[in-house]
Amino acid sequence: MAIKKKSFKDIKSKFSKKASFKPDRFFDLGDAFLDATGLPGPSMGHINMFLGHTDTGKTTALVKTAADAQRKGTLPVFIITEQKWDFDHAKLMGLDCEVNEEGDWDGFFLFNNGFQYIEQITSYINELLDAQEKGELEYDLAFLWDSVGSVPCKMTFDGKGGKQHNASVLSDKIGMGINQRITGSRNTNSKYLNTLVTVNQPWVELPDNPFSQPKIKAKGGESLWLNSTIVFLFGNQKNSGTSKITATKDKRKVKFATRTKISIMKNHVNGLGYEDGKILVTPHGFLKGKDAGEEKKSIEGYKSENSEYWKDIIGSDGDYNLAVEDTGEIF
């Protein structure tokens, strides 16, 4: 006698489960960033990484993310471990902040630069997420860490560990915990939407034969890279690959902007993004610069809009020469 099987529809209904997620949203870093990368900025509800050599625009992107978070009503949480932070510069780039009566910088943000090792940072992130769950912190949160490669784990801090221990702690604390809490906020059942954006310095893996190319690797091991949904690369893989644009007036020379490359190394949100973007980094943020014509137009507009600022810096409101140091190109 044949045994009647249950319909597959009944089985599927009982055992298949499908989570529902909020629509994809991005922080908006401006038209120049979108034009260069194909994305508005970091993806909300995910871990994102700004990876690149020094002075390529990573911290500028982080501050621009914070400024847009403020506009969206998302609370920026600055986790500063590189100790190069400057609120005056951040304000210049659009961060809403002022000096209060006590002489401290104040505004719609949280700021913490008192960390000595990784475990303190991950505990701080979890403490804020716990407070959010308890109703003590009723905001979406954008954790902004600058930078991952500048702080060791507790064992290394105590002189008993090394790079492998730093990587292991990041894997345990981020990969096996915070990653789930951040990305889990995308679930429609979650009241809040939380994001982690990290600035990370690279190391370069040398090729194993003369015909291969060097490869850029993120500090802190593979875990943070693997858990990052989007990775933005600033500059080249082997080196920064930047050009410095200087302004000169009466033999006085100052840095005016940096010409840098920017590309999408990884995008697990929608797979989109450019690998050949070019952009200008100024004290006020990003300018379009995909070719010489667009770059010149951007610079002329920027000089006009910020003439008072440059007058204070160089003593002239527009009557100065610009040149690219490595090429001698004159604007």
pLDDT digit string, tens, across residues 192-250: 999 999 999 888 777 777 777 777 788 888 899 999 999 999 998 888 889 999 988 88
What the chain holds in terms of domains, given with CATH numbers, is: 44-228 (3.40.50.300), 238-331 (no CATH)
Three-state SS string across 103-132, please?
CCEECCCEEECCCCCHHHHHHHHHHHHHHH
pLDDT value of residue 317:
65
Please tell me the distance from the alpha carbon of residue 241 to that of residue 232, in angstroms, as a whole number: 15
| CA distances for 77 relative to 22, 70, 141, 296, angstroms | 22, 11, 7, 36
- The pTM of the full predicted model, rounded to 2 decimals, is 0.93
Predicted confidence (pLDDT) per residue in 98-149, tens digit: 999 999 999 999 999 999 999 999 999 999 999 999 999 999 999 999 999 8
Q: Is 1 exposed, middle or buried (0-12, 13-18, 19+ CB in 10 A)?
A: exposed
What's the confidence (pLDDT) of residue 158? 95
Per residue in 299-315, pLDDT tens? 999 999 999 999 888 87
Task: Could you list the beta-strand ranges (E) of the chain.
Answer: 47-52, 75-80, 98-99, 105-106, 110-112, 141-146, 195-200, 202-205, 215-218, 230-234, 243-249, 252-267, 277-282, 285-288, 321-324
Total Cβ atoms within 10 A of residue 246? 15
pLDDT in tens, 166-202: 999 999 999 889 999 999 999 999 999 999 999 998 8
CA-only gyration radius of the chain, Å: 23
Name the token pair of 41.
């900025």
